[in-house]
Structure 1
Amino acid sequence: MHLGHVRTDDGVSPVIGVILMVAITVVLATIVAGFALGLEERKMDTAPNAEFEFDYDSGASTLEITHANGDEVREDRVTIKGHSNGPKTPDWTGDTDTDDYFSAGATYTATGVGSDDTVKVVWEGPNGDSTTLATWEQ
């Protein structure tokens, strides 16, 4: 009879199976989290979908710009370009929000606007990209 060293592999298979299942779960969670965070980051970098209305007063050379509808917009990302007092990052009034965003109902009055000017409401993204949200021409 041989009483030497006996080797059994009975407990190895379940342990390896558990380790592989944990590893697969961690990899999948990392992939899903990266995808979800990536989508949120891209969403924040896209231009808002907003509509603006314009009311021009030629006697006073002013153009009232009103956020008529759509997404709320971050104030420091919007400039008004194309008139003698522009470009300017406006302070929107009449907005019910107290944070750094403005929404429908907020207005800004641009001064020094001539009848031959082309005034643009421009959104500037964090990566230096820009999108014209609205354009006014007489």
Structure 2
Amino acid sequence: MKTPEFMTSERGVSPVIGVILMVAITVILAAVIGSFVLGIGGDIEQAPQASLSIDDGNLVHQGGDTINATVLNSDGGEEDGVAEFSPGDSENLSGFSDGDTVKVLDNSSDQIIWEGEY
């Protein structure tokens, strides 16, 4: 028994795949261009990077970016506003007790830069 030619022919496969690929490329390009035009992928401000530690009741800036931050205690209450905290600087942490969690919040991006235990 001879197999019909339409079952063994692959002539129609290539044009269908080509059309599917062209549609996919068009959709991807439209999404990318639309995100730029609408500003969906806008500027996201990143928090500065800094290496901080607590030494003898002081918050010490060991290296990284100069930061303008707020120091928070474990219950979320504001403790100190630190202005221009540069590498090598230290800030006295008054009002903290052993075991309290200290959070350093960047004032410009409202992101937590560092968190540690007093």
Counterpart residue number, 2:89: 106
SS in 2 for 1:113: coil
Q: What's the CA shift for 1:91?
A: 4.2
What are the superposed Cα offsets for residues 99-129 of structure 1, whole Å, 9 maximum, x if unpaired? xx33101111111111121111111335xxx
Q: Does 1:117 align with 2:100?
A: yes
Matches of residues 50-89 of structure 1 in structure 2 within 5 Å? 50-56=50-56, 63-73=57-67, 75=68, 78-82=69-73, 86-89=77-80
- What is the alpha-carbon distance in structure 2 between the residues aligned to residue 50 and residue 133 of structure 1? 7
Query: C-alpha displacement at 1:42, in angstroms?
Result: 3.8
Q: Does 1:134 find its partner at 2:114?
A: yes
Using a 3 Å threshold, how does the CA distance of structure 1 residues 91 and 80 change in structure 2: closer, same or farther?
closer
Q: Using the aligned pairs only, state the percent identity.
A: 26
Change (3 A) 1:49 1:118: same
Using structure 1 for the length normalisation, give the TM-score.
0.46
SS in 2 for 1:88: strand
- The change in CA–CA distance for 1:116 and 1:50 in structure 2 (over 3 A counts) is same
Letter in 2 for 1:79: T
CA RMSD of aligned residues (A): 2.8
Distance 1:71 1:91, change over 3 A: closer
CA contact (8 A) 1:90 1:108 kept: no
The question of whether the paired residues in 1 share the 8 Å contact of 2:71 and 2:82 is answered with no
Output the CA distance in 1 between the equivalents of 2:47 and 2:65. 10
Gaps of 5+ in 2: 1-35, 37-41
AA at the equivalent of 1:121: V
Structure 1: which 5+ runs fail to align? 1-34, 36-40, 57-62, 93-100
